[in-house]
Structures are given as structure tokens and as C-alpha cells.
Amino acid sequence: MTEINEETKNKLSELLMKIDGVKNYIFIKENGDIVTHNVDQESSDSLSSVTAFCGLESNTFGNSMDFSNFQYLYFQRKNHENFFIFPASKYYLGIIQHKDADSYEIAKNVSGFIHKLARKKSAAN
């Protein structure tokens, strides 16, 4: 897997924080290694493990049920700061939503953002 340089990380961070309703994010490799994040250091270790493990398990679940194309999962929370996990090629993106944000909108906007990045990447290749 090619390393993502600092400039790309900063750009990614900037774009993610422009998405309505995004409070925090953590972007990791499939193996759980953190690429970039804006959560506190203490939470980042735990969130990266949760994101990688749950992303993988959701893929396995989908495959075993013949469901195509895992798009995202989210943990619904009482404090409304729902936690999303999106697959993005060989990475996973974890998102904590603002408590007053609409989960459906977050899912739509972040999925759109990931598709846009994937299109750009394949066009560049």
C-alpha cells in the first residue's frame, strides 16, 4: 500500500471537516494503522481497532449473506453522536456525527465524498 503524504492527509482532513454534520473522523488502513484523525489521542487507538474490526466483520457478514457492496455501518447512540464506518478501497473511514446531524444525510454525503475520491483516483491512474 503506498503511503499517503502529509499534504494529502491535510487535504483529506480539510475536505472531511467541510461535510455537514461531521464532528470527528479517523482514517485508517485495513489493518487498523491510523493514517490521519482529529479525535483525541486516547480515543484514537480504541477507535482505530473498532473501525478496522467492525469494517472487516461487516464485509464478512455481507459476503456470507450474498449482500453486495458493503456501503457503511453505524452505531446508533443515545447521545446522538452516532459513529459511522465506511469502507474506502483498502482503508476504512470512521466518522463521529454531530449530535444534531441527520444520520441519513451524513451517510449520503460521506458515501458521495468517498465515491468522488475513488473516481479521481481511477482517473489519475
Partner 1 sequence: MEHILSEIKSVPGVMGSYVYNSRSGILIKDMPDFFKRDKLEQASRHIVKVYSTGENSFDDITGVFFNYENATIYIKAIKNRYFLVVFSESSKNFKLFKMAVNSAVDDLLFALEKPEQVKEESVSKEEVFSAEKNEESIDLTPILTHMESSLAKVMGPIAKVVFIDSVDKWKEGSDPTLNNIDNLVKIIRSEINNTQKEEKYLQTISPYLNQK
CA nearest to 28, candidates 45, 40, 11 = 45
Sequence-ordered list of residues with C-beta below 8 angstroms from that of 85, at least 6 positions apart, any chain: 50, 51, 54, 55, 58, 72, 73, 74, 92, 93, 94, 95
From residue 15 to residue 54, the character string flagging contacts with partner 1 as x (rule: CB under 8 A) and all else as - is -------------------------------xx--x--xx
Distance CA 96, CA 74 (A): 9
Of 54-83, which residues contact partner 1 (CB under 8 A)? 54, 57-58, 60-62, 64-65, 67-79, 83
Is residue 109 at the binding interface for partner 1, with CB under 8 A as the rule?
A: no
Cell 475520491 maps to which residue? 117
Terminus-to-terminus CA distance in the chain, angstroms? 15
> Minimal distance in Å, beta carbon 87 to partner 1?
11
> Minimal distance in Å, beta carbon 69 to partner 1?
4
Residues in binding contact with partner 1, number by CB under 8 A: 29
Residues that bind partner 1 (CB under 8 A): 46-47, 50, 53-54, 57-58, 60-62, 64-65, 67-79, 83, 103-104, 107
